[in-house]
Amino acid sequence: MRPATIAIDGPAASGKSTLGYYIAQYLNYLYLDTGVLYRAVTWAALNQKVAIADEAAITTLAQELDITVSPKIQNHHHEEDGRQYTVTSDGQDITWAIRTPEVDGNVSPVSVYPGVREALTRRMREIAAQGKVVMVGRDIGTVVIPDADLKLYVIASAEERAKRRYEELLIRGKRTTYEAVLNNIRQRDKIDSGREAAPLCAAEDAVEFDTTAYSKAEMFKAIIEIVENWNTQGNN
Ligand code: DC
């Protein structure tokens, strides 16, 4: 027996999506990085010049936006650009457009709006209902699928997370500084943990997973152990 639904939560750049993607491949499960949905709404707002402070307009956007997240390669031009999935909004490929510092800087306020959360949570639950899914986010184990078979809460120090995110941005040719990235991460931690609707926190029955001192290989080894030992711990 293996867990059919896996919920992975944690702060920005904690390693949760690297882990989630890996374990989804390992189990041959569907992978959904739910931050993508909040990012797509934020990107659309910036793109359509909808003010981030306009809660009603942003909420409508979240309800009406046609977002798709599909496994990896949609056309051969993208084969080697390092994507884990392809995101489209109204047919346009926005996989990388949602990863800019501009979206990073506006996504937390967008995700505070209860109406936005409600619209996106509904979509997530529809996807989770199919089973065999690894879902990654902030409130997956607490709100979106509280009955998930396995819940992980992934953490790492803010400095280590900033270092990882900064290196990622450099590789993709974005101009920024380590300090700016660290500031953004601290700011997002504060908003994500402090908001009233579905704040970032560990579910009571989540397994804590600290990646600060782990290499990717060590992270992968540890998560396989957790998954393979799942039903020997009385979870079935
Ligand atoms: O994981 P990420 O950095 O792509 O997430 C972007 C933002 O989306 C994050 O700052 C908070 C929000 N988010 C959320 O509120 N709930 C989720 N389940 C996933 C993301």
Residue owning the nearest CA to atom 3 of ligand 1: 12
Q: Please indicate, yes or no, if residue 129 is contained in any of the structural domains.
A: yes
Best substitution site from 31, 107, 135 to test ligand 1's pocket, by max atoms within 8 Å of Cβ?
107
Contact 37, 61 (CB under 8 A): no
What's the CATH number where 163 sits?
A: 3.40.50.300
- Nearest Cα to Cα of residue 120 among 34, 42, 230, 48: 34
Per the listing, tokens 């990654």 go with: 136
Number of domains within the chain: 1
Q: What is the DSSP letter of 201?
A: -
- Tokens of residue 157, six digits: 């120090």
Site to substitute for ligand 1 among 6, 104, 133, 138, most atoms within 8 A of C-beta: 138
Q: What is the pTM of this model?
A: 0.90
Q: What is the pLDDT of residue 235?
A: 57
DSSP code at position 206? P
Q: What's the CA-to-centroid distance between 165 and ligand 1, angstroms?
A: 15
Q: Does 123 reside within a domain? A: yes
154 vs 9: CA distance, rounded Å: 6
**Residue 38 in contact with ligand 1 by CB distance below 6 A:** yes
pLDDT in tens, 25-70: 999 999 999 999 999 999 999 999 999 999 999 999 999 999 988 8
Instruction: Give the β-pairing of 92-93 and 85-89.
Output: antiparallel
> Is 44 among the domain residues?
yes
Considering the domain boundaries, does residue 151 fall inside one?
yes
CA separation for the pair 103, 40 (Å, rounded): 9
Measure 110 CA to ligand 1 centroid, in angstroms: 10
Quick check: is 222 in a domain?
Answer: no
195 CA to middle of ligand 1, Å?
A: 12
Q: Which two tokens stand for residue 186?
A: 């601290």
Is 229 inside any structural domain? no
What is the reported pLDDT for 93?
94
Helices and strands, number each (H, E), in the chain: 8, 8
Quote the pLDDT of residue 75.
57
Residue 209 near ligand 1, beta carbon < 6 Å: no
CA distance 6 to 100: 28
32: phi then psi, degrees, rounded to nearest 5: -130, 115
Burial of 40 (0-12, 13-18, 19+ CB in 10 A): buried
The amino acid sitting at 157 is: S
Range of the domain at 50: 5-217
Count other Cβ atoms within 10 Å, centred on residue 203: 18
Position 174 scores a pLDDT of 83
Residues in the chain: 236
Residues of the chain with pLDDT under 70: 72-80, 232-236
- Other CB atoms closer than 10 Å to residue 131's CB: what's the count? 10
- The pLDDT score that the predictor gives to residue 144 is 97
- Please check whether residue 175 lies inside any domain of the structure: yes
Residue type at position 81? D
In terms of phi and psi (left: phi > 0; alpha: psi -120 to 50; beta: otherwise), the region of 78 is alpha
38 found inside a domain: yes
